[in-house]
Each structure stands twice: as C-alpha cells, then as structure tokens.
C-alpha cells in the first residue's frame, strides 16, 4: 500500500494527470493507504491540499475551528463567475445573513407544503405518466436525466415560485438546463488544472472552455433576471418562495439576488437526482431490500402525506446507506485562514486547502466494519425501547459528512429526504426499475462538484405485479 509519488517542482502531477478521470477514487485510495487517513496532494508550483478521512479532523475543521476553516479565496475565485456572492461562495456576516433569511423556506410548514403540493404534483402529473408510457411501449429511459428534470422543476418552484416544466413527455432540450450543466462542469474543471493561471489566461482571451462558460453563465443570469423582473410585478403578494423572500427583505441589489438563486438551483438540482439514481441501482442489485422498501410503501396511502413520508423509516435508512457508498458531494473543501495543528498532529499552514472526503469515509473499514462494501440499511436502524418498532439510528455526523456537518450543514437536508422518499414511494408502488444493460459490473461514479453515473442510467420500467 503506497501513496502517489511526489516529485520536486511538479509534485504529484504525473499521478494526478493519469488519474484525472477518477479523481474521487484516486484520492480515496490515497486516504485509505495512509495510516492517519490523510493525503497531501502536492501540485506544481508548491500549492498543497490536504485530503482527510479522519472523523476527528472533520469535526475539527467543520465545527471546533469553524472560523479558521472557511470557503476562502481559492474556492471563491474559482467559482466566482458561476456563483458570485451566493450562499455557497461567501463567509462571515454575508453567509450568516443569507442562511438566516433562507432558513424560513425550510421550516415544517414550508416543508409540508412542499411535499403535499410541489412534489406530489410533480410525481403524479409528470413522473408517473412518463413511467406508465415507458412501461406500455417498453422504451429505454435515462433515469438519471428524468430525475434531474424532476429535481430542477422542484427547485425552480421553491426558489422562484416558477415552474419550468422540464419533466414533460417530450423531454424538451432546455437551454437553461444545458447552460447550467456546462457552467458547473467547466467551473469544476478549473480546480483540476495544473495551475489556475491556465484558466485565467483562457478567460482573459475568451477562448475554449472559458468562452463557453461565459456564454453559459450569461444565459443562466438572463433567465434568472427575467423571472426576477416578472416576480417584482406581483410583489404585493406574501412571500411564498425564496426569491420573493429576498426581494421583500429590502434593499438587495438584483445581481446579488440572482447569485443567491443560482446557489440554490445548484444545491437542489444535482444532489437528490444523483442520490436517487444510485439508490435505484442498488435496490435492483439487492432485491430483498427492495421488497422491504416496497412493503413499507404499501403500508402508506397512494399519495402519502407529509407525516406518512416522514414515517418511512426503512426507506430513510436505505437512502442514508446508499449515499454512504455514493455520496452526491463526494469531496468538499475548506481553506485555512491561519496556521493550525490538526487533532492528528498534522500541521496546516495558512492558505492551505483542507478537503474532507465523504466518499472515502463511507468505504472505511475502521468506521463501518469489514462488511463496509455491503448495502445494509440495517446499519441505520435500531429498536425503539417502548414501541418495539424499528427507528432510525442517528450516528455521529462527523463519520458521515455527506451533508457536511456543523454550522454550515446542508440547509436542504430535510427537504431532500422528503422529496426523495416521496419519489421512491411514487415509483416503487407501481413499478420496478430494471437496468437496460446489466453486464454484472458497476456503473462508473464520476464527479464534478456533484456526482453522476457516467453515461446516465438507461433503464426499462416494468409494472410491479407482486401484490
């Protein structure tokens, strides 16, 4: 077991280059091969980034020393063209303000409305009819694409109070969705370049991928601004979505509001769709677990209401377990704004990036035991002392930072689970999802800022006949 070789001047660049198509897996292997679950990635020209899979270090950077480990200028400048001053890209007071104002959108009342109106509508009027047609015609669908469309409709309705209707039977090519996809991909590729000077140079001369990024961001902003202006006309109405909440809060300028909305679209579009794609694949591979999930779904009503969705404990545990193996955000970074020493004795210099690695952590024997590679929702269940029923077993968030942890923990976590469980209930009550190709291998996990199944997830939808 060895770590990637580092050379003077170019650092680990040779290995980095050879593994550029599997960076998540490569950095994960390096963490696993280290006695203290740490790996220093040395880039050319002296920039060093620490990857960690040690829960004590994760707790240290995400909570204990929260004010030392921030987004920082590397993250901020790399993603600025796309995210501007949106919540994902700011620290300090600016972050606190956006977090507080947005948090209203995630209280119980808003979540109940979200499940019983927005998600329910999208499941019953769009998703199910498309699956029904696919069953009748025996067509192959890319389930990942369908789930992304689903999530994008959802998040636009929450963020803007606007329904773009991407999940319709014709599966329209949406300019906005394509622009978003390109902008995220190109922005995340910036992190991987041998030096940031390269993308800055391309941006300066407006060539290649940077030219496309500029166009894509401009399309995204125009689209957002258009909705924002429409919204302004109807502002007397009480704020029911994020956009009107920010517009109502007073003197925020339009550019900033656009930034804020873009961060939310990023948060909501690719995360739940990635999680569900892998979830359906894992269920196909584990029919006994699928049966348990279906059993739970059939105990609820056809269109389960908020409380029923909340009560789907087994499905909840299965989603946790699936994201352990395939986390939607597989690696996430902070930057130290002062010198520090980590709990394992590692010295961190001011300006260094420190990345925690949910993908590597979900696959560590020291955390999950020797059966870590098995899909076992039971890990997340325990018996309730009084009712004897199974209940969800919460674990230390620092061994499972899939939603981050500490003060900046994902704001949409509860919303994400409600949405995913409602989709799972809607799909599996009537249908079976069967991969169109099954060569016995595992689909390929790739990641930009969020993860994806490479090449999509081609499936056939079968009617479920097991009542």
Site for ligand HEM in 315-344 (CB under 6 A): 328-329, 332
Q: Candidates 343-351, 404-412, 422-430, 457-465 — which segment interacts with ligand HEM by CB under 6 A?
A: 404-412
* Contact pattern for ligand HEM over residues 218 through 247, marking x by CB under 6 A: ------------------------------
**Which of 58, 186, 275, 353 touches ligand HEM by CB under 6 A?**
275
* Contact pattern for ligand HEM over residues 406 through 445, marking x by CB under 6 A: --x-xxx--xx-----------------------------
CB distance 294 to 280 below 8 Å: no
Shortest distance (Å) from residue 381 CB to ligand HEM: 19
* Contact pattern for ligand HEM over residues 75 through 104, marking x by CB under 6 A: ------------xx----------x-----
Site for ligand HEM in 13-72 (CB under 6 A): none
Shortest distance (Å) from residue 377 CB to ligand HEM: 16
How many amino acids of this chain bind ligand HEM (CB under 6 A)? 22
**Which of 279, 403, 431, 445 touches ligand HEM by CB under 6 A?**
403
Based on the shown chain and the rule CB under 6 A, indicate whether residue 397 belongs to the binding site for ligand HEM. Answer: no
Shortest distance (Å) from residue 50 CB to ligand HEM: 16
Shortest distance (Å) from residue 460 CB to ligand HEM: 25
Which residues would be at the binding site for ligand HEM (CB under 6 A)? Answer: 87-88, 99, 155, 264, 267-268, 271-272, 275, 328-329, 332, 402-404, 408, 410-412, 415-416
């Amino acid at each position: 077991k060895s770590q990637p070789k580092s050379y003077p001047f170019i650092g680990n660049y040779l290995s980095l280059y050879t593994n550029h198509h599997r960076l998540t897996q490569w950095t994960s292997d390096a963490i696993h091969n280290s006695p203290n679950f740490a790996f220093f990635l040395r880039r050319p020209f002296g920039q060093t980034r620490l990857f960690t899979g040690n829960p004590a270090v994760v707790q240290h950077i995400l909570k204990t020393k929260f004010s030392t480990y921030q987004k920082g200028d590397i993250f901020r400048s790399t993603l600025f063209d796309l995210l501007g001053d949106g919540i994902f890209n700011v620290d300090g007071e600016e972050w606190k303000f956006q977090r507080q104002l947005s948090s209203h959108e995630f209280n119980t009342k808003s979540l109940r409305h979200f499940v019983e109106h927005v998600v329910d509508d999208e499941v019953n009027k769009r998703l199910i009819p498309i699956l029904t047609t696919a069953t009748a015609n025996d067509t192959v669908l890319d389930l990942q694409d369908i789930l992304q469309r689903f999530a994008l409709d959802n998040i636009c309705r929450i963020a803007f109070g606007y329904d773009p209707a991407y999940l319709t039977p014709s599966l329209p090519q949406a300019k906005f969705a394509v622009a978003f996809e390109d902008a995220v991909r190109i922005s995340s590729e910036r992190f991987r370049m041998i030096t940031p000077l390269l993308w800055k140079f391309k941006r300066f001369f407006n060539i290649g991928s940077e030219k496309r990024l500029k166009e894509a961001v401009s399309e995204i902003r125009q689209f957002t601004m258009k909705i924002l202006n429409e919204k302004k006309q109807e502002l007397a109405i009480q704020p029911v979505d994020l956009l009107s909440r920010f517009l109502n809060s007073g003197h925020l300028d339009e550019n900033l509001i656009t930034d804020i909305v873009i961060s939310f679209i990023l948060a909501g579009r690719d995360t739940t769709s990635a999680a569900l794609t892998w979830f359906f694949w894992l269920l196909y591979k584990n029919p006994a677990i699928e049966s348990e999930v279906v059993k739970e779904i059939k105990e609820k009503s056809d269109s389960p209401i908020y409380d029923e969705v909340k009560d789907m404990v087994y499905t909840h545990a299965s989603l946790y377990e699936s994201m352990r193996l395939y986390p939607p955000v597989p690696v996430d970074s902070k930057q130290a704004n002062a010198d520090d020493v980590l709990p394992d004795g590692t010295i961190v210099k001011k300006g260094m990036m420190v990345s925690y690695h949910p993908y590597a952590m979900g696959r560590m024997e020291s955390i999950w035991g020797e059966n870590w590679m098995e899909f076992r929702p039971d890990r997340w269940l325990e018996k309730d002392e009084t009712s004897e029923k199974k209940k969800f077993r919460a674990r230390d968030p620092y061994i499972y930072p899939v939603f981050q942890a500490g003060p900046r923990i994902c704001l949409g976590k509860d919303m994400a689970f409600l949405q995913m469980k409602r989709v799972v209930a809607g799909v599996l009550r009537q249908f079976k999802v069967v991969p169109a190709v099954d060569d016995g291998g595992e689909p390929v996990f790739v990641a930009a800022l969020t993860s994806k199944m490479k090449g999509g997830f081609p499936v056939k939808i079968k009617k479920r006949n097991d009542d």
